[in-house]
């Protein structure tokens, strides 16, 4: 009965598109298959392992159902054999330490962890609508109202992390998970780290190639500004269907990042272009704060839906506005951009 209750869509995982570019380096999984029924030796609770949701550097993520309550979790399962070296185990312990202290509406909830002789088990909030990477794979590009809807939630979760003096360091579509109610959750804290003063920041290069900032590539260390840069890459990708610095050659991608060289197509409207350009400023000090981002005209002047239908995961939404609302946005567009761009601006906000 408990196993049957574990149904639903897979959550987590990564887009298969250009894996070498989109994902950090991964190792093959050589460990034996995880048992179907798993017992927590610390509490005696029994769980039923379901289908695979995703794979990472050390771990696989599975659906896992509490056989007493039928509550479904996303379980990150790490074989002890994959973290046998002290620095590998330290990395997992650090991830657990950072994630278990977090509690925010737009951060994947950490519930529990335990170990047995074979594995480490981390029980996380189950997000049935999968990730933003899956949505973009199905949709190719998103509308501006959708991008505002998702970005507001990302900014909210990221602001909470930064207030806790935690850097995510791997913001990308595959690490934004969507629950049954189409709410976005920041997840995967495998590369997260505490914010350090500039002089004490580690100079290691970590993250996903297409989203790395110039200062990280130049080994100047991660700061809040590096997460802002990645957020700019995320916004660009949502609107245009590809990361701003993506090329067929990793060295060329890094060269473009170091030079902050990318294109902003004419199909993008002025507010979106301006916000992306500000977040992708080569100098970290020139990038906006999270508060400045949310106060940008891209958010203030455009329509943002209160909620999205689950159909938005695979089809373009049809936003129906009342006549007074339509008139307001038409006037706002005319005042901001003039008659020439008014129709194009409004078309991206409502149908």
| 351 annotated as a binding-site residue | no
DSSP 104-158: -TTBPPEEEEEE-SSEEEEEEE--TT-BHHHHHHHHSS--HHHHHHHHHHHHHHH
What's CA 283's distance to the chain center, in Å?
23
Run of H or E including 331: helix 323-347
Is 66 part of the annotated catalytic residue set? no
Q: With the CA atoms of 20, 154, 226 and 269 taken in that order, what torsion angle do they form, in degrees rounded to the nearest 10?
A: 90
Q: With the CA atoms of 285, 289, 293 and 295 taken in that order, what torsion angle do they form, in degrees rounded to the nearest 10?
A: -120
Angstrom distances, CA of residue 264 to CA of 21, 76, 244, 254: 21, 38, 8, 18
**Alpha-carbon gap, residue 270 to 302, rounded angstroms:** 12
Q: Are strands 176-178 and 110-115 parallel, antiparallel or unpaired?
A: unpaired
User: Which is the catalytic residue, given 40, 116, 170, 291?
Assistant: 170
Annotated binding site for ATP: 85
Active-site residue set: 170
């Amino acid at each position: 009965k408990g196993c049957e209750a574990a149904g639903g869509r897979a959550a987590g995982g990564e887009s298969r598109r250009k894996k070498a570019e989109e994902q950090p380096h991964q190792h093959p999984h050589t460990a034996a298959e995880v048992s179907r029924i798993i017992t927590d030796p610390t509490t005696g609770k029994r769980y039923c392992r379901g289908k695979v949701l995703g794979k990472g550097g050390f771990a696989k993520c599975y659906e896992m159902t509490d056989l007493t309550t039928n509550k479904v979790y996303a379980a990150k399962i790490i074989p002890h054999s994959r973290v046998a070296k002290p620095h590998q185990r330290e990395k997992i312990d650090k991830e657990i330490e950072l994630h278990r202290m977090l509690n925010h509406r737009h951060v994947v909830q950490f519930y529990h962890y335990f170990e047995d002789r074979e594995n480490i088990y981390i029980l996380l909030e189950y997000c049935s609508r999968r990730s933003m990477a899956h949505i973009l794979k199905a949709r190719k590009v998103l509308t501006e109202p959708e991008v505002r809807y998702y970005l507001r939630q990302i900014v909210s979760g990221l602001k909470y992390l930064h207030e806790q003096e935690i850097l995510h360091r791997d913001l990308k579509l595959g690490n934004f998970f969507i629950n049954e109610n189409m709410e976005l959750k920041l997840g995967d804290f495998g590369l997260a780290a505490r914010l350090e003063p500039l002089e004490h920041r580690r100079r290691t290069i970590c993250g996903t190639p297409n989203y790395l900032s110039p200062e990280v590539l130049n080994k100047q260390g991660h700061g809040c500004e590096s997460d802002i840069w990645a957020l700019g890459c995320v916004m660009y990708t949502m609107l245009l269907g590809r990361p701003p610095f993506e090329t067929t050659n990793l060295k060329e991608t890094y060269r473009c990042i170091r030079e902050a060289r990318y294109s902003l197509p004419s199909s993008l409207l002025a507010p979106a272009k301006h916000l992306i350009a500000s977040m992708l400023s080569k100098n970290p000090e020139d990038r906006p704060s999270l508060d400045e981002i949310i106060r940008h005209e891209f958010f203030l002047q455009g329509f943002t839906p209160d909620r999205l239908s689950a159909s938005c995961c695979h089809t373009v939404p049809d936003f129906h506005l009342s006549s007074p609302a339509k008139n307001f946005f038409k006037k706002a567009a005319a005042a901001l951009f003039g008659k020439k761009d008014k129709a194009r601006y409004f078309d991206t906000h409502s149908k």
